[in-house]
Amino acid sequence: MTVPVTFDAHSDLPFRVVREREAGRRAVVASDFAPGMRAGGIGMRVASIYLDDPYVPERALHRALVVASELRADVAESDGVELATTADAVAAGAETDARTLVLGMEGAEPLGGDPRVLDAFYRLGLRVLTLTHSRRNALGEGVPLSGDRRGTPGGLSEAGVAVVERADELGIVVDLSHLNAPGVDDALATSDRPVIASHSNCRALWDHPRNLTDDQIRAIAATEGVVCLTAVGSFLGDSPDVETVCDHVEHAVDVAGVSHVGLGFDFYDYLTEYLSDPDRAHLEAIPPVDGLAGDEAVATLARALERRGFSDREIAGICRTNLQRVFERVLE
| CA 219-138-222 angle, 5° bins | 10
How many other CB atoms are there within 10 angstroms of residue 303's CB atom?
12
Q: Give the CB-side neighbour count of residue 302, counting CA atoms within 13 A.
A: 25
Q: One-letter amino acid identity for 182? A: P
CATH architecture for segment(s) 6-331 = Alpha-Beta Barrel (3.20)
Output phi, psi for 45, to 5 deg.
Answer: -160, 135
Contact 83, 137 (CB under 8 A): no
Strand partners, 6: 42
Q: What pLDDT score was predicted for residue 311?
A: 97
Q: Which residues contact 321 (CB under 8 A, 6 or more apart)?
A: none
Task: In whole angstroms, give the CA distance from residue 177 to residue 227.
Answer: 9
| pLDDT at residue 280, as a whole number | 87
- Residue 323, SS3? helix
Coil vs helix vs strand at 226: strand
45/43 Cα distance (integer angstroms): 7
Q: Is the dihedral of CA 108, 111, 114, 117 positive or negative?
A: negative
pLDDT at position 151 is: 54
* pLDDT tens string 8-23: 999 999 999 999 999 9
The residue extents of the domains of the chain are 6-331
Distance (Å, whole) CA 140 – CA 197:
16
Q: HEC profile for 61-110?
A: HHHHHHHHHHHHHHHHHCCCEEECCCHHHHHHHCCCCCEEEEEEEECCHH
Q: Round to the nearest angstrom and report the end-to-end CA distance of the chain.
A: 33
Q: How far is CA 90 from the centre of its chain?
A: 16
DSSP assignment, residue 278? T
Q: What is the pLDDT of residue 146?
A: 61
> What single letter denotes the amino acid at residue 46?
V
- Each residue's pLDDT, cut to its tens digit, for the chain (332 residues) gives 888 999 999 999 999 999 999 999 999 999 999 999 999 999 999 999 999 999 999 999 999 999 999 999 999 999 999 999 999 999 999 889 999 999 999 999 999 999 999 999 999 999 999 999 999 999 999 998 765 545 567 899 999 999 999 999 999 999 999 999 999 999 999 999 999 999 999 999 999 999 999 999 999 999 999 999 999 999 999 999 999 999 999 999 999 999 999 999 999 999 989 988 778 888 888 999 999 999 999 999 999 999 999 999 999 999 999 999 999 999 99
The Cα 12–Cα 15 span in angstroms is: 6
pLDDT of residue 199: 98
In order of 214, 242, 257, the CA distances from 311 in angstroms are: 24, 18, 14
